[in-house]
Structure 1
Amino acid sequence: MIRALSALYSSMTLLKRKSIEAVASRRPARGERETSRRKLSGDAGDVDNAGEKRMTPRFAPVTFSEMDGVRYLHFGTEWVQGAMRLRKPDAIELEYAQQMMAWLLFLSPSAADFHVAQLGLGAAALTKFCHRQFARAKVTAVELNPAVIVAGRSMFGLREDDARLSVREQDAWDFVMDGAQTASIDALQVDLYDATARGPVLDTTAFYRACRRVLKAPGVMTINLFGDHESFPKNIVRICDAFDNRVLVFPEVHDGNIIALAFNGPAIDVSWETLEARAEVVEATTKLPAKDWVKKLRAANARQEERLAI
């Protein structure tokens, strides 16, 4: 499915542009140690029912910087966790974050019941963009650290909740494990890193299966991964396991991020020319570089040169 994964690893230094779930110390194998006792139909073995006491999260400090008209979000280090161009506060500034919107190639957010959710708020770029751009869609953001939510509203122009927007102070694990969320989301955007960017905070097969459960059919998950890190290959394997190998990847961007797309629902068999036509519409309506997405997806994924069949 994925061509030459080893070619995605570079010798570059650790990435400084990462959106994260702001947890200063990672909970080891949190998805497998969760104390939730919910029984999930047909997959109860994914949930640890041992009753282990949950760890109290410790949050990194929320700090900011500005350079060349761009405001950056930090968590007590020089690492950039999100960004906003001051003259375009509702635009998506970072390339990898733009690629998190690539589900637009496959889904149309025009329906009144369309629901897009972000796990990990960061600088609220995705949340703000979706809320502004898709006038009929419901937008939900899930963020564990209350200070990140405050920063989003005070420093990054995140609006107060309304009939379509809901920003929830909640653990992403609890959100996807909530039975009420089953098959409720069309597009799920996952960007969950700890303060040292050692890999996604939630990265178990159980977590990715839960992400699939919350998706409608059809539904798409986009997820931010870090190519130049040991967490990348294991996450790709687990996502492929959870989504029956229905996974595409973008090439690594200059910051080291790799965005993956995982699909739920009916099989997709479409010509690249059709996707290019869709990309032209997306680009015209959103100003996102959708035509470049098609080119990069076609180049980066094996056995997809003639048609996209997944």
Structure 2
Amino acid sequence: MTLLKRKSIEAVASRRPARGERERNARRHDRDTASDLGAAEDRRDEKRMTPRFAPVTFSEWNGVRYLHFGTEWVQGAMRLRKPDAIELEYAQQMMAWLLFLSPSQRDFHIAQLGLGAASLTKFCHRHFARARVTAVELNPAVIVAGRSMFGLREDDARLTVREQDAWDYVMDPASTGAHDVLQVDLYDATARGPVLDTTAFYKACRRVLKAPGVMTINLFGDHDSFPKNIVRICEAFEDRVLVFPEVHDGNVIALAFNGPAIDIDWETLEQRARVVQEATGLPARQWVKGLRRANARQEERLRI
């Protein structure tokens, strides 16, 4: 197979029309996933169906190992010489919560919904010695791949990898108010949009966050799933949402905030970014520039 870089893969995916069945499912979800308890219970029952998983496959090119779900579309990547680094730009932006929260706080808890190649999970576990890290992944083969092919460690006192549906995880009462950070990257083999994308799901994501707390989420900017996801996230988080400029010809990372309002000048945020960049090697100073450029009415100060 000829490997396609993520940029090419996502450009193709974003321009392909969604299948009719997916459109029917989206309409059904719009009807059935209102915020009331009855709709939530319907969705919970739906997610209990036995899942069918695409095969987990791999490729390597120019020193980078890629994760696939039986297609050329990339689901994650690891540079072999830097196995604990975050290789893809969009995945690096998923860490932009570092501009607003410090993982050195006591009982800091980061949850990753959708394990992929485990880059975010490994990075958080390695760099934030006081934080607890939980990864939630439905497909057991992805967990096996993470540990056998992408250097994911076995569970320890700070790391927990759960074979579980992300919907069930955020709906569990034990998760309520238990997380400082939620990193959401939920795609299947078709890579045409998040597999969980309802207002009910995003409201549940907000409920599991502390105050303050931040959700980062990977979306497809050029795909028809993008506007509906932004609308639903804004509804769930009362319009407290920022976006990055599009990368990889498709990926757009959004940040959604829970808790006290943020009102900060850009110079102060840039100072914070320099600290983050020096400590982690992540391009945090570019994050500040991107957020300032991509979000309307934020020219002088960041107010969210």
TM-score using structure 1 length = 0.87
Match of 1:91 among 85, 90, 96: 85
Residue ranges of structure 1 left out of the alignment (5+ in a row): 1-10, 17-24, 36-41
Partner of 2:248: 254
Determine if the alignment matches structure 1 residue 44 to structure 2 residue 44.
no
- C-alpha distance 34-69 of structure 1, shift in aligned 2 (>3 A): farther
Question: What is residue 296 of structure 1 aligned with on the other side?
Answer: 290
Point out the structure with the larger helix share: 2
Q: CA deviation at 1:34?
A: 9.2
Higher relative contact order (CA 8 A, sep 6+): 1
| Other structure's SS at 1:72 match | strand
* Runs of 4+ deviating beyond 6 Å: 30-35
Percent identity of the aligned residues?
A: 80
* 2:262 equivalent among 260, 265, 268: 268
Equivalent-residue separation in structure 1 for 2:137 and 2:255 (angstroms):
21
Aligned to 1:308: 302
Alignment of 1:130-279 (within 5 A): 130-279=124-273
- Contact 1:31 1:202 (C-alpha < 8 Å) held by counterparts: no
- Opposite residue 287 of structure 2, the aligned amino acid is W
Is residue 2:51 matched to residue 1:57?
yes
Indicate the residue corresponding to 2:19 in structure 1: none
- Give, in whole Å, the separation in 1 of the partners of 2:155 and 2:107: 17
Question: 1:45/1:218 Cα in 2 relative to 1: closer, same or farther (>3 Å)?
Answer: farther
Distance 2:299 2:109 in 1: 31
Measured at CA, do residues 136 and 32 of structure 1 come closer, stay the same or move farther in structure 2, by a change above 3 Å? farther
CA RMSD of aligned residues (A): 2.4
Residues 74-85 of structure 1 mapped to structure 2, 5 A cutoff: 74-85=68-79
1:114 to 93, 108, 119: 108
Per-residue displacement from partner, 1:188-238 (whole Å, max 9, x unpaired)?
000001210121100000000000000000000000000111000000000
Contact preservation (8 Å) 1:32, 1:47:
no
Shift of the 189–209 alpha-carbon distance from structure 1 to 2, 3 Å rule, reads same
Distance 1:83 1:52 in 2: 33
**Counterpart contact for 1:141–1:166, Cα < 8 Å:** yes
Q: Which structure 2 segments of 5+ residues have no match?
A: 1-9, 16-21
Q: In the alignment, is the contact (CA less than 8 A) between 1:27 and 1:55 conserved in 2?
A: no
Mapping of residues 16-55 of structure 1, within 5 Å? 28=25, 44=37, 46-49=39-42, 52=45, 54-55=48-49
The whole-number CA distance in structure 1 between the counterparts of 2:125 and 2:249 is 26
* CA displacement at 1:48 relative to structure 2: 3.2
Q: Per the alignment, in what secondary structure is the counterpart of residue 167 of structure 2?
A: helix
Q: Displacement of 1:47 after TM fit? A: 1.2
User: Equivalents in 2 of 1:183, 1:83: separation in Å?
Assistant: 31
Letter in 1 for 2:169: F
Give 1:32 shift: 7.4
How many angstroms apart in 1 are the aligned matches of 2:43 and 2:270? Answer: 49
- Residue 113 of structure 1 contacts residue 138 of structure 1 at CA under 8 Å; is this kept in 2? yes
Residue deviations 1:160-196 (CA, integer Å, cap 9, x gap) = 0000000000000000000000000001000001210
